[in-house]
Structure 1
C-alpha cells in the first residue's frame, strides 16, 4: 500500500531570496537534524543568464532503527538523492528527493516547493508532498513503514523551525535583505521576447473575486494590523491559480513549470494554509494535517458544488482516529443522509411548535469558561411521554437536529469571537426529578434512535457533558443508553451526585459565575421553559401518532374489559437487575392495577406466556390459584393502584429477585378499559 503525505501551505514572512540564503545554510550538514549526517554535491549546472540553477546532492542519513533491523539490512546509513531546481527569475525552488538505498524494496519520493506568496511578494510559501511504498523488507514491512512515518513526521515538524533559526543567524550577521535576481543586458534576445508575451498577473482583488466566482468554496481573509496581506488563510483556489506572479517587477512570469506536483494538479486545487489550520482548526500533527488535506482533495473530486467545511471533515477524521478510509465512509454516508433529509435547510425552514416552546426544558445558554457554547437540559423536568405524544418521535428528532445545527453555528461564532479554535460544545444535564417514569419504553426507544442518528452525523461535537443531581434511578438509564454512545464520547462525561457539583471540580470550574443558571443557585436566568407535564389537549390522535413514529412498530395494543373482568400479562424473567416497565392509558372509567411476583412459573389459560388481542373467556381468568397465599406463593411488587378515567401511567421496577428462584411477573388489571404495552 502506498502511504501519501501532503502538507498544508506554510508561510514565511520573509522575502524569497532571504529564505533561499537561509535554506543553503542547511548544507552540507545540519546540527538541528541529527539524522542528517552529511551531503555531497554530485552535479551542479547553471543557466547561461544565471536565472536557473540545478544542484544534485547525495545525502547521508543515520536512520533511527532497531539494531537488529540494521544488522539484517547490513547498513548503518541510508542514502538519498536530492535535486534542487532554482528559478531566480520566477522566484521558485523545487526540491525533489528519492531514496538510493534499498530502491528495489522501498520507494520514497518527495517533492517540496518554495514560491512567492500569491498575495504578498515579500512573503514566501512552502509546501511538500511525499509518497512511501514498501514492496518487501525482509519481513519487517510494517516496522519499516512505522519507522519511516515517525521519522518523516519529526523532520516535517522541524522544517519551519530550522528556517527560522537560520534567518536569525543571518540577522546576527547583519544580513536582513538579499537583492532579487536582475536580468543582465547580455541575456539572450529570445528570453526577452518570451518575457514580453507573458500575461500580466491579475490584481489581488480581481484574482480573489475570480476564484470565488469559479467555485463555491468559502474564502476567508483574516486581516492583521501590521501586515499588507493575510497569512492566516490562502484562498483555496487562488493559491493554485496565482502562481503566475506576486505583483512585483521582479516576479513577473509563470513558474508553474517549476512547480510540478507529486500528485495530480486536480488534487491540489483546494489548498489549506498552516496558519489557517492553527487559527481555526487547532493544533494538528503533520500527518493529521496531511490526512485532512487528502480527504478534502477526495471530496473535491466527488462533490459537486459546496464542499463540507474543514471543521466538519476534521470531526469525522477524529471520530475514526484519522483513518482516512473509515472517515471517508462515515462522512459519505452522512452527506447522503443530509441530502436525503434536507438537513442543510433546517435552520431556515424549521418552525418550533408551541408545545416545544412551552414544555421543552432545554436550550442554548451562553458559553463555558473555555468559550464553548453551552446547552442546558433539565431532563428530570422533561415529560418525555407528553412530548412524544404531542409531536411524535419524528418531531422530537427534528427538534434535536435543529439544536445540533444551531450548535454548529454557535461554534463558528465562538471561534470568530474568541480568537482561538472552538470545535465542540458543552452539555449541562440536570437530572433532578428523574424517576422510573422516564424509563417509558417508547421514550427510551426514541431516545436511543436519536442518539444513534446524532452519533453518526455529528461526531466529535460534544466536548464535555456535565451530569448533575443524578438520582438513584440514573444508573439504570445509563446502562440502557451507554451502549449506543461512542467510547470517545463516553470519556467526556462527568457525573455529580447530590450537591457535589457546587464544590471544587464541579460547575464553578467550567461555567462562569455570571452564567450559572438560577435554578442551580446562580444569578443568570435561562431563556427556556421549566418543563412539566404536557397537557393532554396537545396530544395528537393515536392514528396520526403512529404515522409519525420512527419505526413501523405499533406502540400500543388495546383490550376492553367489562366490570369485574381481569386481564393479566405474564412475563417470564430470570435476569437479575433487569428493568420491567409498564405503561397504559385509561380511556374510560377506572381500573385497579397490581403487579405480583410468583416463586414458581405460571402460564396463561391458553398455554401462552403472554396474552394477546382477540381474547377468549379464559383470558379473563386469573392465573393466580385461589389456594395460593400472598407472601408465600406470590408476592406483591406494586400495591393495588386505582387509575381513573383519562389517566396515563408509566412506571418501572428493577427486578432484584434471587436467580435461584424461577420467577414470573403478573401484571394484573381489573375493570373497564385500557391500552396496555406488554
Structure 2
C-alpha cells in the first residue's frame, strides 16, 4: 500500500528572497540536521539571463534505523537524487527528490515548493507532498514503513524551525532585506536542497500542486481553529478536503466537520470518507443545512421538552442541559410523533455546531464539541415505554451517524435504580468512543470532590442541582391527553416531515436506465439538475424528442409493461426508437463516479420533450491484443454485482424567470440551489 503525505501551507512572514538566503545557510552542513551527511553536485545549468537555475545533487543520509536492519541491508548511508529549480523571476523554488538506494525495493518521491503568498507578496509559502511505496525489503516491509513514517513526521515541523533559525541568524547579523531579481541582476547561488535535510530517509516525498487548484490549508489556521494535529493528521484532512472539492464541485463542508469524521475513524481516510459521503447525502436529501432557518418547534415542545442551552463548561464548550427524568416521553411521542422529536434533536445538534464556532472565536482556541448534562431525577419505569425507547434509539442512531465527535462530555447526574435497565437498552447503539465520554453519578455523588464543580464553574450550576444560577430549561410535566393524536395522524405527520425534500431517489440497473421526462413549451428555457451518486457509476445523458414517449404501460395485474427491476426505476425511451431519428442527444455524455455530486444546466433550443437519463456505466471492453488488468477485472465484477443508486433534483426555469433571477440572485436571501447553479454564482 502506498503511504501518502500532503502538508498544509507553511507561511513565513518574510519575503521570498530573504527566505532563500536563510535556506542556503543550511548547507553544506547543518548542525540542526545531523543525519544529513553530504551532497555532491551532479549537474548544474543556468539560463542566459540568470533568472532560472537548475541543480541536481546526490545526497547521503545516515538513516536512524536499527543496526541489525542496516547490516541486513548492507548499507551505512541512503542516497537520494535531488533536483532543484530556482526561478528568480517567478520567485519560486521547486525541489523534487527520489531515493537512489534500494530503488527496486522502495520508491520514495517528494516534491517541495517555495512560492510567494497569493495575498501578500512579502510573505513566502512552503508546500510539500510525498509518497512511500515499499515493494519488498528483506521481509521487514512493515518495520521499514513504520520507521520511515515516524521519522518523516517528526522532521516535517523541524524543517520550518530550521528556516526560522536561520532567518533569526540573518536578522542578528543585520540582514533584513535581499533585493529582488531583475534582468540586470547577477545570478545568485542556488539555495541548497531542503527535502533531504528536513525529511528522514525512506519517507514520502512531496508532490506540489499550484495553490490555485488545490485547497491547501494554512498551518497557522489549522492550529488556531482546528487544534494541534500531527503532520499525518493534517495530511489526512487536506487530502480528504481536496477529494471532496474535486468530487463535490466546491460544495464541501467546513473543515471542522471533515475533521470530526476523521477523528471518528481514527484518521483512516477511506473509512472517514465513506461515512462522511453518506452523511452529506443524508443532509442534502433532508435539507438539514437549512434546518435552523426552517424548523419551528411546535408549542408542545416549547412547553414540555425539558432541555436547553446553558452557558458553557470550564473548557469553553457549549453546555446543554436535559432534565430527562422530568420529561413525559410518552406524552411527547403521542402528541408529536417520532419524526418531529428527531427533527427537534437535529436542530439542537445544528445549534450546537453553531455555538462551537462562536465559542472558538470568543475563547481564541479550537472548540469543536459541547458538553451535555443529563439530570435523571424522576426517571422511572414509565420512561421505558416501548415506543418511547424506540424513538430514543432511532434518535441515537441518526445522531451517531451524522454528528460524530460532537459530544465532548456527557454528565449523567442522579441516576436512579432503574437507570441500568435503560443503559442496557441504549448502550449497544452508542459508539465506543462516545461511551468513554460518559460520567455517571448516582444520588448526590456529583456534589463532592471529582463531581460537577470539576467540569462546570460553581457560578453557573443550575438551581435545581444545588447551585445559584437560574436555569431557563422548562420543568416539563405531563403532556395533556387532549393533545394526543391518533396513530393515523402521527403516521401522516411522520410521512409529511420526511418527504418534505426536493430530492428523489432512483435505482439504475444494467440494461434499465432511469429517465425523467420534462416538457418544454418555450424555447430558451433552462433545465437545471443537481444529483449525487450514492452507489455505483453511471453515464448521464440529455435527449430531445418532438413527440412524447409513451408512459409505462400496465398489464392486467397492475405491473408496468416495461419491465423494471426496481420500483423507483422509470424507463421512457422505447426500445424501438432510433437515436438520431426519433430522438437526439443535446449534451455530451457525462460519466459520474460513485460519491460524486454533479450540478449543471441546459438552455433549451427547441420546444418539445427532454429526457434526463442515468444509465449504468459499463466498463470498456479489453481489446483482443491486450490482456485485461487485474484491477479492471475486479472493478468490473464489483460494479456489476450491485445496482447503482442516484439522488436527484431537477428544475425548469422559463426565460422570464431566468432573467429575473439572474438580476436578483445576489439580493435574494434564499433561492433554490439548482437555480443559482444555472447562473454560475455558486
Same fold, TM exceeding 0.5? Answer: yes
Q: Tell me, what secondary structure is at the counterpart of 1:327?
A: helix
Q: Determine the C-alpha separation between the residues in 2 that align with 1:439 and 1:371.
A: 34
Partner of 1:452: 397
Q: What is the Cα deviation at residue 266 of structure 1?
A: 9.6
Q: Is the 8 A contact 2:56 2:81 kept in 1?
A: yes
Q: What is the Cα deviation at residue 96 of structure 1?
A: 0.8
Q: Determine the C-alpha separation between the residues in 1 that align with 2:294 and 2:269.
A: 34
Could you say if the C-alpha distance between residues 349 and 425 of structure 1 is closer, same or farther in structure 2, counting changes exceeding 3 Å? same
Q: Is the 8 A contact 1:105 1:136 kept in 2?
A: yes
Partner of 2:382: 437
Q: Tell me, what secondary structure is at the counterpart of 2:180?
A: coil
Aligned equivalent of 2:329, options 378, 384, 391: 384
Q: Determine the C-alpha separation between the residues in 1 that align with 2:279 and 2:344.
A: 18
Q: Is the 8 A contact 1:33 1:155 kept in 2?
A: no
Q: Does residue 169 of structure 1 match 2:183? A: no
If the length of structure 1 is used for normalisation, what is the TM-score?
0.68
Q: Tell me, what secondary structure is at the counterpart of 2:179?
A: coil
Partner of 1:178: 178
Partner of 2:659: none
Partner of 1:316: 261
1:172-211 maps to which residues of 2 (within 5 A)? 172-184=172-184
Name whichever of 459-468 and 523-532 sits farther off: 523-532
Partner of 2:55: 55
What stretches of structure 1 move > 4 A for 4+ residues in a row? 263-268, 546-550
**CA-to-partner distance for each residue in 1:362-402, whole Å, 9 max, x for gaps?**
01112112111110001111111111111111111011111
Partner of 1:153: 153
1:280-429 maps to which residues of 2 (within 5 A)? 280-429=225-374
Partner of 1:88: 88
CA RMSD of aligned residues (A): 1.9
Q: Tell me, what secondary structure is at the counterpart of 1:174?
A: coil
Q: Determine the C-alpha separation between the residues in 2 that align with 1:546 and 1:436.
A: 26
Q: Determine the C-alpha separation between the residues in 2 that align with 1:107 and 1:31.
A: 28
Q: What is the Cα deviation at residue 140 of structure 1?
A: 2.1
Q: Tell me, what secondary structure is at the counterpart of 1:294?
A: helix
Q: Is the 8 A contact 1:106 1:133 kept in 2?
A: yes
Q: Is the 8 A contact 1:29 1:39 kept in 2?
A: no
Q: Determine the C-alpha separation between the residues in 1 that align with 2:174 and 2:186.
A: 32
Partner of 2:28: 28
Q: Does residue 485 of structure 1 match 2:436? A: no
Q: Does residue 469 of structure 1 match 2:398? A: no
Q: What is the Cα deviation at residue 69 of structure 1?
A: 2.2
**CA-to-partner distance for each residue in 1:482-522, whole Å, 9 max, x for gaps?**
11111111111112222222233222222223322121122
Partner of 2:516: none
If the length of structure 2 is used for normalisation, what is the TM-score?
0.68
Name whichever of 173-182 and 143-152 sits farther off: 173-182
1:596-607 maps to which residues of 2 (within 5 A)? none
Q: Determine the C-alpha separation between the residues in 2 that align with 1:480 and 1:421.
A: 34
Could you say if the C-alpha distance between residues 165 and 266 of structure 1 is closer, same or farther in structure 2, counting changes exceeding 3 Å? closer
Name whichever of 320-329 and 80-89 sits farther off: 80-89
Q: Does residue 496 of structure 1 match 2:445? A: no
Tell me, which stretches of 5 or more residues in structure 1 are unaligned? Answer: 188-260, 551-678
Name whichever of 86-95 and 29-38 sits farther off: 29-38
Q: Is the 8 A contact 1:267 1:298 kept in 2?
A: no
Name whichever of 174-183 and 4-13 sits farther off: 174-183
Q: Is the 8 A contact 1:36 1:61 kept in 2?
A: yes
Q: Tell me, what secondary structure is at the counterpart of 1:333?
A: helix
Tell me, which stretches of 5 or more residues in structure 2 are unaligned? Answer: 188-205, 496-682
Q: Determine the C-alpha separation between the residues in 1 that align with 2:185 and 2:441.
A: 80
Q: Tell me, what secondary structure is at the counterpart of 1:472?
A: coil
Q: Determine the C-alpha separation between the residues in 2 that align with 1:436 and 1:281.
A: 43
Name whichever of 445-454 and 301-310 sits farther off: 301-310
Q: Is the 8 A contact 2:322 2:372 kept in 1?
A: yes
Q: Determine the C-alpha separation between the residues in 2 that align with 1:41 and 1:186.
A: 21
Could you say if the C-alpha distance between residues 497 and 407 of structure 1 is closer, same or farther in structure 2, counting changes exceeding 3 Å? same
Partner of 2:131: 131
Q: Does residue 5 of structure 1 match 2:5? A: yes
Aligned residues: 477
Q: Determine the C-alpha separation between the residues in 2 that align with 1:479 and 1:549.
A: 28
Q: What is the Cα deviation at residue 276 of structure 1?
A: 0.9
Partner of 2:15: 15
Q: Tell me, what secondary structure is at the counterpart of 1:153?
A: helix
Name whichever of 329-338 and 438-447 sits farther off: 438-447
Q: Determine the C-alpha separation between the residues in 1 that align with 2:251 and 2:421.
A: 44
Q: Tell me, what secondary structure is at the counterpart of 1:446?
A: helix
Q: Determine the C-alpha separation between the residues in 2 that align with 1:267 and 1:122.
A: 18
Q: Tell me, what secondary structure is at the counterpart of 1:122?
A: strand
